[in-house]
Structure 1
Amino acid sequence: MSQAQQLALARSRQLSAQDFAISAARDMAVAASQLPDPVLKAGIDNLPVSGPDRGSLTNDFMTMRRVGLMQEITRSDKRQLRAERYERVINKSQAEKMQTTFGIVRDTSIAWLERYYSEKMLALVREQLNQARLEIQAAELAYRSGRGSQADLLTARSALALMEDRNSELTRRARNASIMLTRWTGETSTDSLGALPAMDQVGLDISALESTLEHHPQINIMNRQVELADTEAKLAEANKKPDWSIEVAYQQRGPAYSNMVSVGLSLPLQWDQKNRQQRELSSRLAMADQARAERDEALRSHIAEVSSLLNEWQSKRSRVDRYGNELLPLAAQKVQAILAAYRGGKSSLGDLLAAQRNQTDMHLQALQLQAETASVWAQLRYLTPLNQTRITPDMNRD
C-alpha cells in the first residue's frame, strides 16, 4: 500500500499547484517589503495662452518646463507588516498542502483496500461458482441414474444462477475499485496487491483527542487563517498613520531668467478616521474573531467525528473477531454435518446447497465487514501528521 501512496503523491498535480502558490507568496513577501516605485513627473507650468507671448515657452518669466521625481516614504513597520502578511499566506498554503497530502494518502489507502477486499470477495465467489457447476453435474448424473430428483437438479441450477449473478456484481465492484486506485496512482496493472498492512493501531488516544486534533490539517489551516487575520488587523492599525511623500522638481525658464528647483512634501489628511481607518480596523478585528470562532467550532466538530469513528472502528473489530472465531466456524460445521447427512441419505441436495450458500454469504459478510473496518482504520490512521512526519520521501517538499 505504501508504494501506491508514493505513486499518488508523486503524480498529484494539486501538490504541484500548491508549490506554485507558496513560491508566488514568497516572491510577493519580498516585493511587499520594498518602498513603492518612485514617480517621474514632467510638465509645463504657466504657459501663456493669450496676448503677445501666447504659446511661448521662453518669453514670460513665469513659464517653466518642469521635470521632477516623487517618492512615497512608507514607514518600515508598515512595510514589514505587508511582508508578514504574505508570510502568513505562505504558512496557510503550506498547511493546505499538508491537508492535501494527507487527503491523497488517505484516499489512496481506501482505494487500495477497496480493491484488495473486492478481489478477495470475487475470488471466493468464483471458487464457489466452480463448485456449483460441479454440483450441477453431480445432480444431473444422480437424476439420470434415478438416485436423485428433478427438484434437486432445479435447485442446483437455481443456486448456480444466483452465484453467477453475484459474480457479475462483484466483478463490477472489483473493476470500479481498480479504476479508483488507478485514478490516484496512474497504474493500470492487475497484478496482486500484496499483503495487507498492520491495522491493529490507529495512533490516536481517545483521552487526549483535543490536543491531538489541534494538529489536524484542517485545524492547522484555520490556525494559520487566524494568524493571517491578526496580521491584517495590525496592518489596518498601522494604516491609521499616513505615509509621507517627498517631491523634487527642476524647473527651466527662458534664457533671460534663472532656473529653479522646488522641494515639496505631501501628507494624506485622514480627516475622517472614525468612519474610514477606524472602521477598517474594526472590520479586521471582527474577521480575526470570526476566524477564531470558526476554528474552535471546527475543532469541536472533529472531536465528535473522530470519537464516533474510533467507536465504529472498535465495534467493527469486535464483529470481525466474532465472525472469525464463532460464525464462520459454525457455518463450516453446519455444512459438514449436512454433507454427512446427505451422503447417508438423511438430507436432500437442497439442504446441502442452502447450507453452502449460507456459508458463502457468511464469508462475504465477513470480508465486507473487514473492508469497512479497514476503511475506517485508514480514515483514522491518516488523520493528523503526528508520528507521521514523513509518509514518503517527498511529502514535505515545497
Structure 2
Amino acid sequence: MSCLISARWWATAAMAAALSVPAWAGTPDEPLSLREALALAAARSQQLVASRASTAASRNMAIAAGQLPDPVLKFGLDNLPLNGADRLSLSRDFMTMRRIGVMQELPGAQKRQLRTERFEREADLSVAQGQMSLANLQRDTALAWIERYYTQRMRDLVLRQIEETRLQVQAIESGFGIGRSSQADVFAARSALVLLEDRLSTVDRQQRNAALVLARWVGPDAERPATEAPAWQTSRLEDGRLQEHIPLHPDLLVLKAQVDAAQTESRLADANRRSDWSVEVMYSQRGTAYSNMLSVGVSIPLQWDRANRQDRELAAKLSMVDEARAKYEDMLRSHEAEVRRLLNDWQTGKSRVHRHREQLIPLAEQRAQADLTAYRTGKVDLAAALAARRDVIDARMQALAVEMETAKSWAQLNFLSPSDSLPTSRQEKP
C-alpha cells in the first residue's frame, strides 16, 4: 500500500510540475480552463513543496537510522603517581599506563531494521499528507473556478437581457411620443431596466468575489475568463467503483499510515526489551621495563525494572496502535457516508438541471411569448408582459444556479482523491 501511495503521489506531483511551465502564464483575454487552473494551483502550492521536503527528510533519516552507532574513541592516563620518588613519572611505576581504545555499541539487526522502518513509515505519512494536500488543493481550486465560470455566465445572461430591455425602453418611449404607448408602459419598461441593472450589480459582486477566491490558488490568472464548461456530467465514481475508491481517500491514507507507524513503534518497543551490548577494546602502554596491556570488555545494560519501564513503554505503544485503528475505522465510516451523500447530491442535481433545461425554461419562454402576444392584441398590459419576460430570466438564472451547485457536488466528489486527468467537457447552455 505504501509503495502504491508513493507512486501515485510522485506521479501526480511530477505531472503538476511538468504542466507548470512559464509559458502557461496566459494573456488577460486568454481563457483559463479548469485543467490549467489545477496545474497552476499545484505549481504555486507551498504545501506540496513542504510535503516533498518532509518526505525527503524522512527517507534520509531512514538510511541513517539503519546504521551502527558511531564508534567511541577513548584515551586516557591511568595510575599516575602524585608523590614519592616516582611523582608524575609516566614510566617508572609499573601501574602507570597510557591507554587508547575503541568502544562500539552493537544494537541488534532487528532493532536497526525497525528504526529504519519507523522513518519509512514517517515518509509514507508525509506522502499521504501530500496526497491530502493535493486533493484539497484541487477541490478548492475547482470549486473557485466553477463559481467564477457560472457567475460569468450569469453576468453574460443579464447583460444580454439589459441590452434587449434598453431597446424595448427606446421603442416604448418612441411609441409614447406618437401616442401608441401609455405613460404607465414607459414607467414599467424603465423599472424593468433598473431591476436588471440592480441584478447585474449583484452578479458583478459575486463574480468579483469568485475571482478573488480563485486568485488565492492561481494568482493573477484568476482574472482570465473561464469559457469552457466543467465536465460535471461524468465522474470517476459513477461506474460503481465506490467501495474500491473509498479506501484511497487521502484522509484515510493518512490514518492508515499512522496505523502502520504505530505498529512499527510497538515492534520497536518490544525489541527494546532486549538490551544493546557494547564491545570495548583497550590498548595500554606502560614504561619500557614493563609489558604493554590489551583489554577487552563487554557492557550489558541491566534492565532491573523492566515491568515498570520497557513493559510499560510497550503497553503504551500497543495502546497507540489501538487508538490509530479506531480512528481509521471511524473515519472510514464517516467518509463512506460523505461519499454516498455527495454522489446522491450530484445525481439529484443532474436530474434537476435536465428538468430546468427541458421543462421550466421552455415553459417560461412559452408564457412570455403568450403574454407578449396578448399585449400586442391589447389583452394584457405591458407590465404583465415584462413580468413574464423577467420570469424567463429568473428561470435561466435558476438553471445556472442549479447547474453550478451540481458542478460543485461533482468537484467535491471527483477530487476526493488527487486526479491527474479530467473528462472531456461539453459546452451546454440553458
Tell me whether the two structures share a fold, i.e. TM-score over 0.5.
yes
Q: Does 1:309 align with 2:342?
A: yes
Report % sequence identity. Answer: 50
- Taking the aligned partners of 2:398 and 2:286, their CA distance within structure 1 comes to 98
1:282 aligns with 2:315: yes
1:106 aligns with 2:136: no
Checking the alignment, whether the CA contact within 8 Å between 1:99 and 1:218 is kept in structure 2 is yes
TM-score (norm 2): 0.84
Aligned partner (choices 267, 271, 279) of residue 234 of structure 1: 267
Alignment of 1:31 with 2:61, yes or no, is no
Letter in 2 for 1:47: L
Whichever residue aligns with residue 281 of structure 2, its letter is V
Give the aligned partner of residue 246 of structure 1.
Answer: 279
1:272-306 deviations in Å (ceiling 9; x for gaps): 11011001111111111111110000010011111
2:253 aligns to what?
A: 220
Say which SS state the counterpart of residue 66 (structure 1) adopts. Answer: strand
Note the alpha carbon deviations across 1:49-86, whole angstroms, 9 max, x for none: 45555544444433333222111011111101111111
- Is the Cα contact below 8 Å between 1:206 and 1:307 reproduced in 2? no
Query: Aligned partner of 1:96: which letter?
Result: Q
1:274 is paired with a residue whose SS is helix
Paired residue for 2:421?
A: 391
Counterpart-to-counterpart distance in 2, 1:58 and 1:201: 91
8 A Cα contact 2:70 2:104, kept in partner: yes
Matched, 1:17 2:50: yes
AA aligned opposite 1:165: D
Partner of 1:395: none
Alpha-carbon contact 1:75-1:243 (below 8 Å) kept: yes
Aligned to 2:402: 369
Structure 1 portions without partners, runs of 5+: 393-398
C-alpha contact 2:232 2:406 (8 A) present in aligned 1: no
Say yes or no: does 1:72 pair with 2:102: no
In the TM superposition, what are the counterparts of 1:325-340 in structure 2 within 5 Å? 325-340=358-373
Aligned to 2:18: none
4+ residue runs over 6 A deviation: none
Deviation at 1:372, TM superposition (A): 0.5
Q: Whole-Å Cα distance in 1 between the matches of residues 230 and 383 of structure 2?
A: 41
Partner of 1:396: none
Match of 1:166 among 171, 186, 199: 199
Specify the code of the residue in structure 1 equivalent to 2:233: D
Shift of 1:220: 1.6
Aligned to 2:176: 143
SS of the aligned residue for 1:268 comes to coil
Contact 1:91 1:224 in 2 (8 A): yes
Q: Do the aligned residues in 2 keep the contact of 1:210 with 1:299 (CA within 8 Å)?
A: no
Match for residue 83 of structure 1? 116
Moved more, 54-63 or 293-302: 54-63
TM-score normalised per structure 1: 0.90
**CA–CA distance in structure 2, aligned partners of residues 54 and 154 of structure 1:** 122
Range with greater deviation from structure 2 (170-179 or 53-62): 53-62
Q: Which consecutive unaligned segments of at least 5 residues does structure 2 have?
A: 1-33, 423-430
Work out whether residues 219 and 298 of structure 1, in 8 Å CA contact, stay in contact via their aligned partners in 2.
Answer: yes
Deviation at 1:149, TM superposition (A): 3.5
Cα distance between partner residues in 2 of 1:42 and 1:199: 74
Q: Tell me: CA distance 1:347–1:266, structure 2 relative to 1, closer, same or farther (3 Å).
A: same
Does 2:78 match 1:45? yes
Hey, what does 2:31 align to over in structure 1? none
Distance 1:50 1:161, change over 3 A: farther
- Worse-matched range after superposition: 264-273 or 177-186: 177-186
CA separation in 1, counterparts of 2:135 and 2:87? Answer: 76
The one-letter code of the counterpart of 1:72 is E
